């Protein structure tokens, strides 16, 4: 296979060259950080009162971590390093789990971010002849405008369709010959189910590729979407605190996500001891943004669980690859003392062919104990007059889950299309246990 690079010099730079670049950019980031109310205090307390205190990349570890809590405390301007008149855009988290957090950009910040998204899209083999339908939420969420700008930078025809409304999405795909889409993996699974319902066949479409991200999903989910839609699916990782999408992305080898290390420094730590994890992980990903002036963020604890692959990638890029994100440390459920990530349940469900694309995880209190219920959709063939078919499948799913997660779940089977649909990030876990227990 031949590989194409958007920025060949930077994507294949030697590790030494990359580290020299990172050191220079880290000093710039510290210079900008010292101009913000938050870091002026935090960095000086840590003895870093000027960028010159950063002598080597190892000095990064002298910088204290930044958390979501810090960002909330700093709302609205505690992390702003430039005069407000120079800010040209802001993005914000929804604030559904607390006070909102806001990231500001100046013009150059936006250009740099766009460059990383363009580089990511190009790494999957797309070019200016592609027609790109951006089926994700526009607005304060970074997925819409971030991908939009990256696609335009490459010269693709970008259709800003936004999330939802599958009927209109299909019409746009057919009218304009869409070759690439971007969506959450859960919306892509829903698209496939809707295609069947609306009689749209793969042959009616020119679709070849999809970028799927913004939420965790398993390798089996990727395979399922690829098989059902006959396309290539590329994993896309990012977070608003680090601009948005375009932080790490899969290349055509689909074997880990290249972290764009000229824009972001990645570390993997043990979330309990906060010490670095050897051999690349697994552990919590910590990121330092090297490519934004308006809102510098240093050593941000993402809460995302990942790690680095060893060794080079066949594509020739020298930027290290992250494992598929398994989940967030704060997503972990403790069920009767056993730790469980929702992704472990998804892995089992998606590996069973007869189980549908949608599922929910419900946790309740039953007396003193926790009760886990997995609700999942199955095809019409199971709902016959003979309840033995249904019960046999239910039992098989239960046993397979129990063997994998060591918890005995209750399994409920639902008809296709009856569980809630998610246009944005899926909310698959309903933890109904009282919060103070």
Cβ–Cβ under 8 Å, residues 136 and 188: no
CA torsion 325→327→329→333, rounded to 10°?
-160
Footprint of ligand DLL on this chain (CB under 6 A)? 93, 142-143, 213-216, 235-240, 244-245, 302, 304, 325, 328
Least distance in angstroms from the C-beta of 164 to ligand DLL:
15
Least distance in angstroms from the C-beta of 121 to ligand DLL:
12
C-alpha to C-alpha distances, 75 to 69, 304, 424, nearest whole angstrom: 10, 22, 25
C-alpha to C-alpha distances, 106 to 86, 90, 103, 110, 355, nearest whole angstrom: 6, 9, 10, 6, 47
Q: 101 vs 178, which CB is nearer to ligand DLL? A: 101
Least distance in angstroms from the C-beta of 62 to ligand DLL:
25
Q: 36 vs 120, which CB is nearer to ligand DLL? A: 120
Both tokens of residue 199? 């009689």
Both tokens of residue 85? 């008149």
Least distance in angstroms from the C-beta of 46 to ligand DLL:
25
Cβ–Cβ under 8 Å, residues 119 and 6: yes
Alpha-helical segments (H) within 66-106: 68-73
> Given the structure tokens 């994890």, which residue do they identify?
277
Q: 416 vs 425, which CB is nearer to ligand DLL? A: 425
Q: 78 vs 143, which CB is nearer to ligand DLL? A: 143
Q: 304 vs 346, which CB is nearer to ligand DLL? A: 304
Q: What sign does the CA torsion over 192, 193, 196, 198 have? A: negative
Least distance in angstroms from the C-beta of 302 to ligand DLL:
5
Cβ–Cβ under 8 Å, residues 13 and 262: yes
Least distance in angstroms from the C-beta of 403 to ligand DLL:
25
Q: 54 vs 288, which CB is nearer to ligand DLL? A: 288
> Given the structure tokens 């490519």, which residue do they identify?
291
CA 430/CA 437 separation, integer angstroms: 16
Q: 206 vs 328, which CB is nearer to ligand DLL? A: 328
Cβ–Cβ under 8 Å, residues 11 and 263: no
Q: 108 vs 331, which CB is nearer to ligand DLL? A: 331
Contacts of residue 84, defined as CB under 8 A and 6 or more positions apart, other chains included, come to 77
Least distance in angstroms from the C-beta of 303 to ligand DLL:
7
Least distance in angstroms from the C-beta of 127 to ligand DLL:
21
């Amino acid at each position: 296979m031949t590989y194409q690079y958007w920025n060949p010099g930077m994507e294949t730079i030697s590790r030494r060259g990359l580290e020299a670049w990172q050191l220079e950019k880290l000093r710039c980031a510290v210079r900008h950080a010292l101009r913000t109310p938050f870091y002026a205090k935090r960095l000086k307390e840590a003895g870093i009162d000027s960028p010159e205190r950063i002598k080597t990349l190892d000095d990064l570890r002298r910088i204290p971590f930044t958390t979501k809590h810090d960002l909330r405390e700093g709302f609205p301007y505690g992390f702003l390093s430039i005069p407000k008149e120079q800010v040209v855009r802001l993005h914000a988290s929804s604030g559904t789990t607390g006070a909102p957090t806001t990231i500001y950009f100046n013009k150059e910040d936006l250009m740099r971010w766009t460059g990383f998204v363009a580089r990511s899209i190009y790494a999957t083999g797309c070019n200016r002849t592609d027609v790109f339908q951006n089926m994700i939420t526009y607005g304060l969420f970074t997925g819409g405008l971030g991908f939009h700008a990256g696609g335009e930078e490459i010269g693709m025809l970008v259709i800003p369709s936004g999330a939802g409304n599958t009927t209109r999405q299909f019409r746009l795909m057919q009218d304009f010959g869409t070759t690439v889409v971007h969506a959450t993996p859960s919306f892509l699974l829903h698209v496939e189910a809707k295609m069947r319902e609306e009689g749209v066949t793969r042959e009616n479409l020119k679709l070849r590729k999809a970028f799927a991200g913004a939420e965790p999903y398993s390798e089996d989910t990727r395979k399922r979407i690829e098989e059902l839609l006959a396309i290539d699916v590329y994993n896309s990782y990012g977070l608003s605190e680090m601009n948005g999408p375009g932080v790490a992305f899969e290349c055509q080898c689909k074997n880990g996500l290249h972290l764009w290390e000229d824009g972001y420094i990645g570390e993997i730590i043990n979330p309990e001891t906060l010490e670095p994890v050897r051999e690349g992980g697994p552990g919590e990903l910590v990121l330092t943004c090297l490519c934004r002036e308006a809102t510098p963020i240093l050593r941000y604890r993402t809460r995302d669980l990942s790690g680095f692959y060893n060794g080079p990638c066949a594509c020739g890029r020298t930027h290290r690859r992250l494992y598929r994100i398994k989940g967030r440390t704060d997503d972990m459920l403790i069920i009767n003392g056993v730790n469980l990530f929702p992704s472990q349940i998804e892995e089992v469900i998606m590996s069973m062919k007869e189980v549908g694309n949608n599922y929910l995880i419900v946790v309740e209190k039953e007396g003193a104990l926790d009760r886990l219920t997995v609700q999942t959709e199955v095809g019409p063939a199971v709902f016959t007059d003979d309840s033995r078919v249904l019960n046999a499948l239910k039992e098989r799913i239960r046993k397979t889950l129990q063997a994998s997660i060591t918890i005995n779940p209750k399994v409920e089977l639902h008809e296709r299309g009856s569980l809630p649909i998610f246009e944005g990030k899926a909310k698959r876990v309903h933890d109904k246990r009282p919060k103070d227990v």
